[in-house]
Chain A
Amino acid sequence: MHALETRQLTLSYGERNIIESLDLTIPRGKITVFIGSNGCGKSTLLRSLARLLKPKEGAILLDGEAIAKRPTKEVAKRLAILPQGPVAPEGLTVLQLVKQGRYPHQSWLQQWSEEDEKMVVKALEATQLTALADRAVDSLSGGQRQRAWIAMTLAQGTETILLDEPTTYLDMSHQIEILDLLYDLNQTEQRTIVMVLHDLNLACRYAHHIVAVHNQSVFAEGNPHDVMNEELVRHVFQMECQITRDPIYDTPMCIPFSKSRLGAGATAGSSGANAEKEEQKIAVHA
């Protein structure tokens, strides 16, 4: 069974449809990455999967059952979402933030339990924040802060974690740090991870499954090796590029052409067949 599934899903803001009649499946135990240009609806789609946005039509199935029909607290025990750019209240400590992850497991009758404590300790360890537990979240660096938020979603103890642009505003080393953490979680605990990323090369490096959102629908989906090509980038991003291989991981890598910097960079930087190919392309699209 798929972790998440949409059936004839239509999402809209007011009159404008963002996604139309979409059938999509999210594979269980894999890392799925949504890519697409700004405003294409990939974040909206992710938010709807986490029931933060009510569909106009269609349904979303979590483990085969309609998400809208289940009590929201029950959903929160199976699916966690880290929204884009969350802000912690001033002075909230890392520990207090991570403890919030246990919210769906508590009630007025069922207060803090041993299980809660155990999950929080584990989440802090997994994100290497144990030493920073008593620090205020707003005093941390961007990367540490994002790790604290991820720790909160880990404490929730869900099989599926959705993350909306978890690396935005982070420098390159922190981006890698966050993605490595998520990759580890997937590999060691088989958690299903679904996220929106802007960096195509990192998306290709870390994703098992890529979903390219374009024109109110999905343009292509599948393994990065199979779906990532020049045509996809041209369609989805309206940009010319060359796809090569990541020299370290052999995953697809997208090198964009610049519109204003013709010739010079292309010939000086590359060699042989590549340069020739590029020149042909520029000629075609000039």
Chain B
Amino acid sequence: MKALLSNTYLKILGVGFFLLLLAYLSYASLVFGIVETSWHTAIDAFTQFNGTNEHIVIKEVRVPRVLNALAVGMCLGIAGTLLQALTRNPIADVELFGLNAGAAFFVVVAITFFGISSLTQFTWIAFLGSAVSGVVVYLLGSLGRDGMTPVKLTLAGAAITALAASARHGMMVLNEKSVDEVLFWLSGSVGGRKLEFLTAVFPYMIVAWIIAFLLARPIQTLLMGDDVAKGLGQRTMMVKLAAGATIVLLSGSSVAVAGPIGFVGLVTPHLARFLVGIETRWVMLYSGLLGAALLLAADIGARFVAKPAEVPIGVMTALIGIPFFIYVARKGLDKG
């Protein structure tokens, strides 16, 4: 597939375009919603806060939403790129690797057995659950003579996802009280979360983003196969380990902030490759930007589809993302 943005100049221009798009979407997310506000009100809320309902909504509800969507979308997009590269599997996503399922499992255990019910506590429990299942999947995928292979990792991910999901369902059936408390969390959302959740995990996100971009070049080489990469002098074990740890950080911190959100990490790498080709560092950057844009757009859309109720953001990411995804997939098939 020939990339749409074929040279570096166009790629940099594209980044500029996406930054503008993100700025516009952020603005739209601040202003539009059940409580209608305007651009002036939004600025006033920061410069001349007067305690009106609009100002409170903007500062306490809308701003965290925008920042959550930006950060989580970026994380999911980058995590998807890393996972798809590491497993050489085009449908790899945090959802398919037990990372979300592990987080959800831990949260339900916390509700059922420890009576925990505050979103604040969910944050760290979800992070832990995602990390634990990530490590388990990685270890299972690395057992045996050849070390970690894409197929073993994919199978381990599928197995842990199924295990964590069925254990969670079992507990929810046995303990109906937990169902109500957890259902909201399980559907994933960038709204209704205080800014403290994001600031708590933001350092991890920053570290993960930096490591991810440092890994882009080694991963590009690893894409040509273990033997080729080793022959070129790469310590493939180290690269895979670092990539695995980065994925756990990314998915752990995003599930901590927004609950389990699937699909974003699955589609954005494909959309990114459609735009910039196969160079991993560009794919990663674009996938991150696209993830942020998709999540922001989905969050805005979620407020309008079933007004005054809000649909879960997972539904919206799928509704917005799938048409693009099908278009790109078909395009790929035509060329292939």
The residues of A with any CB-CB pair to B shorter than 8 Å are 13-14, 47, 50-52, 71-77, 80-83, 86-92, 96-97, 100-101, 103-104, 106, 108, 156
Contacts and interface: CB of A to CB of B under 8 A. Distances in A.
Interface stretch (B18-26, B54-62, B230-238): B230-238
B225 A104 contact: no
Contact of B224 (A74, A81, A89): A89
9 contacts: A47-B227, A72-B234, A76-B232, A89-B224, A89-B278, A97-B224, A100-B221, A103-B233, A104-B233
Interface in B1-38: 1-3
B43 interface: no
B277 interface: yes
B90 to A, nearest CB: 9
Interface string B225-250: 10110111111000000000000000
A210 to B, nearest CB: 24
Contact size range, B:
20 to 34
Most buried by A among B2, B217, B221, B231: B231
Given A13-B145, A14-B145, A104-B233, A89 B223 contact: yes
Contact of A52 (B220, B223, B227, B279): B227
B214 interface: yes
Dominant SS at the A interface? loop
B230 A52 contact: yes
Given A52-B227, A103-B221, A91 B233 contact: no
Given A86-B225, A89-B278, A92-B278, A81 B231 contact: yes
Given A13-B145, A108-B214, A101 B232 contact: yes
B333 to A, nearest CB: 12
Contacts of A81: 227, 231
3 nearest A-B residue pairs (beta carbon): A76-B233, A73-B233, A83-B227
Contacts of A80: 231
A82 to B, nearest CB: 8
Contacts of A91: 1-3, 273, 277-278
Contacts of A87: 224-225
Contact of A83 (B221, B231, B233): B231
Contacts of B273: 91
A13 B247 CA distance: 32
A272 B273 CA distance: 67
